[in-house]
A and B are shown apart, each in its own frame.
Chain A
Amino acid sequence: MAEVDELARPASPRDLFLTFNWLALQGFGGVLAITQRVLCDEKRWLTVDQFVESLAVAQVLPGPNVVNVALMVGDRFFGWRGAFAAMAGMLVVPLVLVLALTALYAQFSVHPAVAGALRGMGAVSAGLIVGTGLKLADALRRNPMGVPVSLGLLAATFAAVAIMRWPLLVVLPGFGVLACGFAWRRLGDEARA
């Protein structure tokens, strides 16, 4: 894979801390979209495929997904020091800000322009999550299950969660076991071929 050669890596745990801090401060209504853009497009520390893999692990484990991704990325480059630096970068400054905002919230939340601005930001940040999903779907081109099956699984998951509103604890294990079982067989066929 040619693209692996072009990947960069963080210079130090400090670099990790500053990068995750910087991206967390740009993430309104969730940091997943900006995390993907900074790590894959701007810094080139991860390929889109690697990002999807980290997200898959983060998604099936308990805990906040993006913080789990930050931990894994930090750990990959600098062990537990990197993991801690990335996580602290993601959390410390935003924590101070969110507590300050808590103190102000009661005064401002009743203002209609503020409520409207928050609603507009919410609409955009929902769109950023959808857009990130569509971008990551590019990784499915290289999926051993093949593009049609992968897209079918994507659509089925979307329908189950967004339209049918099935609980995650049904969808993840249910579709997950089917998909991983199918991928297991395909990888076996590949190895034999």
Chain B
Amino acid sequence: MNAGPDLLSLFGHFLVFSLLSIGGAITVAPEMHRVLVSEMGALTDAQFTASIAIAQAAPGPNILFVAVMGYQAAGLAGVAATLCGIMLPATTLALVVSRWGHARQDWRAVRAFKSGMAPIVIGLLVATGWILTVQAPGWPHVALTLVAALLAWRTRVHLLAMIAVGAAMGALGWV
């Protein structure tokens, strides 16, 4: 395998994925699958699915599934290619836009954007949690999600404690 051109094209593809990833990198997962698995053959189907599962199981932001893909495709150099590719355009844009908006926070248009988007962003969050839980079968799973939601909303119970209880219940086969 000649690693040079592979790494460059990996990096190039992830630069594009970065700019497409409105709503988070996971929204480009279908496109990543098309390019990495079907087109480049850089990953097997099982490796692709495992990448997302591993990043979910580990602490830290889910974006790291991109690093796992890079690692499985081309080792540590692959991690550098995929992670830098996905981060560079998005972070640059985020900084530029956030500074622009912060300098103009009294503008009516900026205030209208923030006020208008607030309920939509919150609705999206609730929807994300909902979609994540209904993918798994069985009512105990949904019930556990609802209890966790209620506790996170209304109490100061430590989030790690809730995760630990969830892990224990899962390991015992209750959910």
Contacts and interface: CB of A to CB of B under 8 A. Distances in A.
Interface of A: 24-34, 37, 41, 52-68, 71-72, 75-76, 80, 83, 87, 90-91, 93-95, 97-99, 101-102, 105, 109, 112-114, 116-137, 139-140, 143-145, 150-158, 161-162, 168-169, 171-172, 175-176, 178-184, 186-188, 191
Given A56-B117, A131-B151, A133-B126, A61 B90 contact: yes
Contacts of B35: none
B152 A59 contact: no
A65 B23 CA distance: 7
B162 A124 contact: yes
Nearest to A114: B171
A105 B92 CA distance: 33
B117 A140 contact: no
A99 to B, nearest CB: 6
A131 B89 contact: no
Interface in B96-113: 97-99, 101-102, 108-109, 111-113
B129 interface: yes
A152 B112 CA distance: 17
Contact of B170 (A67, A72, A123, A155): A123
State the majority secondary structure of interface residues on B.
helix
Nearest to A29: B56
Interface in B15-48: 18-25, 27
B128 A157 contact: no
A122 B132 contact: yes
Interface in B24-76: 24-25, 27, 50, 53-64, 67-68, 71-72
B119 A151 contact: yes
B136 interface: yes
Given A56-B118, A61-B22, A124 B59 contact: no
Nearest to A52: B118
Contacts, number: 380
Given A90-B61, A188-B108, 14 more contacts: A25-B59, A31-B60, A62-B21, A64-B61, A97-B58, A98-B58, A102-B68, A102-B71, A117-B171, A120-B170, A125-B148, A128-B152, A172-B120, A182-B116
Contacts of A68: 90-91, 94
Contact of B163 (A52, A65, A83, A124): A124
B1 interface: no
B68 A63 contact: no
A158 B127 contact: yes
A169 B64 CA distance: 23
Nearest to A118: B57
Contact of B115 (A102, A133, A145): A145
B111 to A, nearest CB: 6
A119 B133 CA distance: 10
Contacts of B86: 63-64
Contact of B91 (A25, A71, A98, A99): A71
